[in-house]
């Protein structure tokens, strides 16, 4: 019997190629019974992750009862897809935590950035302003829910780079 890839006591350093479980290149594919219907699903989990990065439908086998066995081409396609899902998630998180806008105030082009530091107990954020040469011209701490817009950036600059209310 093959060990379950979700077993925390199982050694995940070795490749495994089973009809319903494949592990290689830091990923585990596990074919599972779809809870919503009679079909099957496949869960792609990166080694060390608590939750799958991707769960999707899996093809039925020829007998229309059991799942199609995992194979190398399918596994590597799943790895590519799951990696892309993670990459997009990271890009989205980066975009939420680091915002940038350029405004023109007093004839000068200023690049304003908002950097949010998420923390369960003490989240924080910082506004920074750089001139066209990249020189820091102002900075202030702000609430993590501060909305960076062209209007809020211009108002902050016009206010002498003081902490917005």
> pLDDT (tens digit, 9 = 90+) per residue, 83-132?
999 999 999 999 989 999 999 998 999 999 999 998 889 999 999 999 99
In whole angstroms, how far apart are CA 137 and each of 21, 58, 131, 143, 146? 56, 55, 7, 20, 20
Q: Which structural domain range is residue 126 located in?
A: 98-158
Residues 62 and 107 in one domain: no
Residues 59 and 108 in one domain: no
Looking at the domain assignment, is residue 88 inside a domain?
Answer: no
Looking at the domain assignment, is residue 115 inside a domain?
Answer: yes
SS3 77: helix
Share of the chain above pLDDT 70, in %: 92
Residues 65 and 107 in one domain: no
Q: Take residue 93 and report the two structure tokens written for it.
A: 């998180």
pLDDT for 98 equals: 95
pLDDT for 37 equals: 76
Looking at the domain assignment, is residue 44 inside a domain?
Answer: yes
């Amino acid at each position: 019997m093959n060990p379950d890839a979700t077993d925390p006591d199982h050694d995940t350093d070795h490749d495994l190629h089973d009809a319903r479980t494949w592990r290689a290149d830091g990923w585990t594919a596990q074919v599972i019974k779809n809870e919503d219907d009679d079909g099957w699903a496949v869960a792609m989990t990166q080694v060390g992750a608590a939750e799958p990065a991707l769960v999707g439908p899996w093809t039925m086998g020829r007998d229309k009862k059991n799942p199609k066995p995992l194979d190398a081409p399918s596994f590597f396609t799943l790895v590519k897809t799951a990696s892309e899902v993670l990459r997009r998630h990271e890009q989205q998180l980066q975009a939420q935590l680091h915002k940038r806008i350029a405004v023109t105030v007093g004839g000068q082009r200023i690049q304003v950035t908002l950097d949010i530091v998420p923390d369960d107990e003490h989240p924080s954020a910082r506004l920074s302003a750089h001139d066209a040469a990249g020189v820091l011209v102002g900075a202030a701490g702000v609430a993590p829910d501060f909305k960076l817009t062209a209007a809020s950036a211009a108002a902050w600059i016009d206010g002498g780079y003081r902490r917005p209310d």
